[in-house]
Structure 1
Amino acid sequence: MTTPLGIIEGFYGQPWSWQNRADLVSFLAPHGYGFYIYAPKADPFLRRRWQEPHPQEMAAGLKAFAAHCRQLGVRFGIGLSPYELYHHFDDDARIALKAKLAFFDDIGVQDLAILFDDMRGDTPDLADRQIEIMHWIQAESGAERLMVCPSYYSDDPVLDRVFGERPAGYLEKLGAALNADIDIFWTGEEVCSREISPGHLRKVETLLHRKPLLWDNYPVNDGQRMSQHLHLRGFTGRPAAIGNHLSGHAINPALQPTLTCIPALTLTDSYLQGDDYCYAASFRRAAESVLGSDLAALVEADIMALQDVGLDQLENREERLRRHYTESQHTGAREIMAWLDGDYRITDEIVQTQ
């Protein structure tokens, strides 16, 4: 397997603990996951309050986690969302950004992602402004690898409805003028793509003048609708051949860190096995590896209720699920119980304010 695999912690809602992150990296590193980008929507010091320094305790946690990643041979990255910086990239903004970049260098950031998603983008010179910012950051940052998420990171028209119509030629201009060694994130034909094909990626590679860095929105389950479902099944619609057209493949994980490891393992299988990959068999092996055989068998039996039905539609199924998982002390079972209790619910208010 030659396609670099990684995690981009980019979901809305309650962020993971440092122990959650450390455990996940420790588990997935031997299975081909070689980079981790810390970018939770709930970290305000990477988003709406990005000009402010991280509090001392958070900074210490980041530095310790970066060291943990390096010890495992996993590249550590951070995703910064400088809120609508392209509207006011003045001297004050440059001073604040330079201080933030110095902090990233101090804690050992190897991969720096600048994320312009989830912001209004209906500005005619949007590409020019973002290119200026990225080239300025590249000159100031000590990160080994730089990447950017465009304001329009998919063909999906939902982005135009929510964030304003994309400027004409935005992606063409961004791809042509951005330095070739800066990676560009792409989610596919949709924000949450059901399938990602080599044919589509070839077109994107031509458009962006480089192989895209895939931001895969599976198994993420944030949002008011998706948080009612646990995304556990093996990856589908990601044939191994797409690796020839990617600079890397980053998955946006589910809200449940232990359960996330199940589909994550199946993606490794998909790349390694190619045409021989069978997603159901891969799920079964992955679930046993993460949960143990007995708990994995329960999850497989309950997969339709957990992934397809939706929390508010469980009705009499909920009692059965609680019987199955209430006695287990495994972290995976605890996450299922917390989901049943509504602890992972995401509201529109959370999405709009993080």
Structure 2
Amino acid sequence: MKAGMACADHPAYSPDMELKTMKNVELRWSLTHSGGSVMRHLCVLACLLVGAAALQAQEQRKTAVAVMTLRGSGVSESDAKFLTERLTIELQRAGVFEVMERDKVDEILKEQGFQQTGACDETACLVEAGRLLPVEKMIGGSVGRVGNVYAAQIRLIDLRSGKVEKTATRDYKGELEHLLTAGMRESAEELSGKRAVQAQVSAPGAAAGSQDQAMMRTLLEAQYEDKSKSKGWAVFWSVLIPYAGAGSLYAKNYGASVILFLGSAVSASAWIAALNDSSNSSKSAWGLAYLGTRVLDVVIATRSVGKYNQRLREKYGLTLNAVPYKDKLYATATFDF
């Protein structure tokens, strides 16, 4: 009876039932295993996407910088501010830095009680101001004029180390507009790292040295032109002033100027006295002596101008020029006559 009841309650065992049961168990295990594998792959994929997004965000993050007003030397304050604004715009165009607006910089520094005497172009002052701002680097420097050469020296300073990270210098002879239009753009590209890479590829070291030499020579030439004398002006002053010696005085030949002045003054006085005395027969002699001092002043003044300019070029080291000729360098001397 018990065996019959067991058979009635439970179906009889068969090999087909055992095979079906094993397949069901295997299917459930397979689904569970495959589902865990899919989850693991999804987790790995999600981690990769998050990491890629973080890297992209880090790459897209720009370094925050602030630009201080450039100090002007030989240029007006309004010109220095206008050059600063152009530099700020060119830095924004470069797309490397997150440049803080000038009005915001002034507002924050004023709120923080930052005080300065004159322009803030020194490294210590830039670091002090930069640490009051929400930036990582500071940009500042100066613009000036030497003779007829306009120059700009701009520095990029890392506020964490307090040291100069990069510098950009530009010199243009002639007009301030060249420094405004090309100088500020090139300086911004150099500080941003775009122009430096091109310079290294095109000329690893020689170009930088030759550029520095050319810039130095341009500055020295400008100083020379500012202080040199003109033979035309020497003749002009010799002829304009009634007494001899003015041309030599212009040419800085003070000894000849004094002698010629005294000689012309004496001869002119004697000539005038002889003209007023009808019995005096030395009129012509005194007249020729006076004219002789005037002519001698012209000759001495022009020669003195040449000698003065030659000494000035020697002072600035401009007497010798390196001239390339058939793959060789020859030194040529420059003289003024």
Shorter-chain TM-score above 0.5:
no
Identify which of structures 1 and 2 has the higher relative contact order when contacts are C-alpha pairs closer than 8 Å and 6+ apart: 1
Q: Which protein is richer in strand relative to its size?
A: 2
Smaller-chain TM-score bracket = under 0.3
Q: Which protein is richer in helix relative to its size?
A: 2
The structure with the larger Rg is 2
